[in-house]
Each structure stands twice: as structure tokens, then as C-alpha cells.
């Protein structure tokens, strides 16, 4: 079975826009998605990126157009200025790690969290909101929410972040197939082509 490392951040609009597409693509090709939430700011420290509010106005304006354009392409609703954003997704990220660690599929919980920020004006930093999402997708909220507070889970998120940096992930989402990084939800089709063609992974230089 092919495996795809899926590096993401639960408050990222571009992760939201690509989440269903990457899950469906992996399903089509019977590939395993390895869910790896990361600290996005640590990736940005390495890649030289800055938060949207600190970017030049022209880049801020283009980002808002891109979000609308990509949402229309993917057939998804989006609020470009959601009520609860910026928001700290660390607890949600850690809940995902707990689910993965305990053999549970985080796909639909992740989808709820991402849509919560970018379509529904939910506060994903609120544990009650996360508990509701877990219940809605048929998962017991108490164990992952408790485990999310442990140092062990925090350490896994930091390890994911180090792995993402080592894989040349400059932002999120980044999908890594056979060591080749595909940055951005608009690279999913290129990722699929790489899987279908059977070509060797590209390397720098």
C-alpha cells in the first residue's frame, strides 16, 4: 500500500480546501494517509513566510481572492474573515494525534474542525466544540481530549513538525509521497498523477 504523509494545521484555510479532495484521492488509489498535525509557525520560521496580517497589502488582497476562487473550484463554502480567526488549533491538532495513536480514523473529525473555522464560525479552541465534533462523528470525546493535554502528545506534534521541515514542507498542507513534497491543496492533482504514472520521485538538483 502506498503511503502519503499529510502535514497540516487545523486552522489552515488551504488545508480545509484540500481535505476532502486528498482523502478521496487516497481512497481511490487505496493509499494510506498518515495524519501529521504540525506547528505551522515553526515551518514558517524555516521557509521565511509570515502570518497573513504581516504580509504586504497586495499579498493580503490576493490571498482573499485565492480563497474564494479555490472554494468555488472545490465546491465548498468559505468565510474569508471568519469570526474566530486567528485561532489556536493546538488542542484540535493534539486530539487528531491522539485518535491516530489509538487506531481511530481522524478523517471526519478533521473535516469538522476545518469547516468549523472556515464555514461555520465555530471556535475550535473551545473544548466543548471539539467534544461536539467528536460525538457527531461517532467518537467518544473524553479519551482524546484528556490525552491531548499530555506531554507525550505534544512531543508527537513537535516530532511531526521536525519531520515536515526535514521533508521540505514550507507550509500546509504538504503531502509527501516517497520523499517528494507536494505543497498546497492545488498540488493534489499532481500528486495523483505521480501515483498513477509510477514515475520516480523528483529530487532537488
The predicted pLDDT at position 124 comes to 98
The residue with cell 469570526 is: 83
The residue with cell 491538532 is: 93
The mean pLDDT value for 124-150 works out to 98
Q: How confident is the model at residue 150 (pLDDT cuts 50, 70, 90)?
A: very high
The mean pLDDT value for 24-36 works out to 98
The predicted pLDDT at position 53 comes to 87
Radius of gyration of the chain (CA): 16
Determine the Cα–Cα distance for residues 52 and 63; give it in Å rounded to an integer: 8
Residue ranges of alpha helices (H) inside the chain are 13-28, 40-47, 57-74, 90-101, 107-118, 127-136, 142-147, 151-166, 188-197
* pLDDT, averaged across the chain: 97
Question: For residue 65, how many other CB atoms are within 10 A of its CB?
Answer: 10
Q: What cell was used for 119?
A: 464555514
User: How far apart, in Å, are the Cα atoms of 120 and each of 2, 72, 148?
Assistant: 34, 17, 24
The predicted pLDDT at position 55 comes to 94
For the segment 101-112, what is each residue's pLDDT rounded down to a tens digit? 999 999 999 999
The predicted pLDDT at position 205 comes to 80
Q: What cell was used for 144?
A: 482524546
Tell me which CATH code domain 3-197 carries. Answer: 3.40.30.10
Q: How confident is the model at residue 174 (pLDDT cuts 50, 70, 90)?
A: very high
Amino acid at each position: 500500500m502506498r503511503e502519503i504523509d499529510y502535514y497540516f494545521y487545523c486552522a489552515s484555510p488551504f488545508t480545509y480546501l484540500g481535505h476532502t479532495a486528498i482523502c478521496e484521492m487516497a481512497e481511490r488509489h487505496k493509499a494510506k494517509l498518515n495524519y501529521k498535525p504540525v506547528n505551522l509557525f515553526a515551518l514558517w520560521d524555516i521557509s521565511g513566510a509570515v502570518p497573513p496580517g504581516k504580509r504586504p497589502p497586495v499579498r493580503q488582497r490576493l490571498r482573499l481572492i485565492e480563497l474564494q476562487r479555490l472554494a468555488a473550484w472545490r465546491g465548498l463554502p468559505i468565510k474569508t474573515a471568519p469570526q474566530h480567526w486567528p485561532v489556536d488549533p493546538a488542542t484540535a491538532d493534539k486530539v487528531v494525534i491522539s485518535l491516530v495513536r489509538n487506531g481511530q480514523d481522524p478523517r471526519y473529525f478533521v473535516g469538522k474542525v476545518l469547516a468549523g473555522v472556515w464555514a461555520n464560525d465555530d471556535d475550535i479552541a473551545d473544548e466543548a466544540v471539539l467534544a461536539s465534533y467528536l460525538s457527531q462523528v461517532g467518537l467518544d470525546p473524553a479519551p482524546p481530549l484528556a490525552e491531548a493535554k499530555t506531554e507525550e502528545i505534544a512531543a508527537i506534534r513537535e516530532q511531526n513538525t521536525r519531520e515536515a521541515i526535514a521533508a521540505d514542507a514550507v507550509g500546509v498542507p504538504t503531502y509527501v509521497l516517497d520523499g517528494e513534497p507536494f505543497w498546497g491543496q492545488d498540488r493534489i492533482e499532481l500528486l495523483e498523477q505521480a501515483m498513477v504514472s509510477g514515475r520516480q520521485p523528483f529530487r532537488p538538483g
